[in-house]
Amino acid sequence: MAIKLTSLSDLFDHGFDDIIDVRAPAEYADDHVPGALSMPVLDDEERARVGTIYKQVSPFDARKIGGALVARNAARHIEEKLQDRDGGWQPLIYCWRGGQRSGSFATILRQIGWRVETIEGGYKAFRGLVVQALYDDPFPAPVVLLDGNTGSAKTELLNMLPDQGLQVLDLEGLANHRGSLFGAMGPQPQQRGFETALAMQVARLDPTRPVVVEAESSKVGECRLPPSLWTAMKAAPRIVLEAPLDERAAYLARAYADVTEDKARLHQILDTLRPYVAAEQIEAWHAEARAGAFAALARSLMELRYDPSYARHRARMDPTTVTPLTAPRLDPQALPELAARIAAQVADLAATPARGDTE
């Protein structure tokens, strides 16, 4: 039998011991159902080979060769990856469209005695639910943006807010990127993988309560924000942190230690700013980096590059949606109290009727 997914929340308590993705490794790497184990019944080369035979020779020859390959790969998975599963093991299996690949593997496992189900429509059906949630449906909960100039500790504060009883979306965490030239934290997910992780978090939100999101541009690194969220963010009220420049510089020197410790990477990033800044200033930044004067470097970068950019953006915002919040200190001891103040401000905004509600 095939299980029909009617919503993303169906996957929260699916009741199966494992979800198995039998698509090729490249398909799995692009995106997959969260938590799914990769057990391809055709690898990337085999899948391409069978597809070519299907188009250029005949569907029968493709199925004959594909069947042999699927059986061989299935045997290997049973011998290597599934040897420790007992007789009560219940897996949920899917492929691209819930067709031959998942059906073939499920048939083999059923013959062993395992109670196997497949996903109706396969990954394509799951992807349709993700697209519906992020592209078609309006964002389900009221959004409040946490904003502020570079170095205002927004991401760290955002991740303290659940302890204050708030729900949050950490877009930089999902994208594995801090949203600036200096922000890479390693490989980013593919766009579909980013959207899947985001959609699963959105599906868990309580629509009656606000969700706090860090103010971002429409892209976090190379990951694009989907339309429903971006539309909600553009219309959302903002809490804008106002912290002294020296506090922000000291915070950045701490928070970006991974960048400052990699001297080659730091100098390479500084060189990418040459089209926008005078050569003399670039050389001054390089000198500060070589001297280990990272707080001074951060301060200068903010004064000359990042703060002016933020000021231009702020000038275009609707002033009635902006609530300033002073943050005189950003040291580790001060952040919990600042998070509590942010939570209180979110509560005030949630209790305030939106413009037009009382008209």
> Which residue out of 53, 95, 200, 225 is catalytically annotated?
95
Among this protein's residues, is 223 annotated catalytic? no
Q: Which long-range contacts (CB under 8 A, 24 or more apart) does 197-200 make?
A: 197/34, 198/134, 198/169, 198/171, 198/174, 198/226, 198/229, 199/8, 199/129, 199/130, 199/133, 199/134, 200/8, 200/11, 200/34
Burial of 136 (0-12, 13-18, 19+ CB in 10 A): exposed
Q: How far apart are CA 166 and CA 346, in angstroms?
A: 9
Helix (H, G, I), strand (E, B) or coil at 348: helix
Neighbouring CB atoms inside 10 A of 46's CB total 18
Please choose, from the candidates 33, 40, 41, 32, the residue with its C-alpha nearest in 3D space to the C-alpha of residue 16. Answer: 33
Pure H helices in the chain: 25-30, 44-56, 59-80, 100-112, 122-131, 154-158, 171-175, 191-203, 227-235, 245-255, 257-260, 263-271, 279-291, 294-301, 307-315, 335-351
Q: How far apart are CA 165 and CA 309, in angstroms?
A: 33
Q: Cite the active site residues.
A: 95
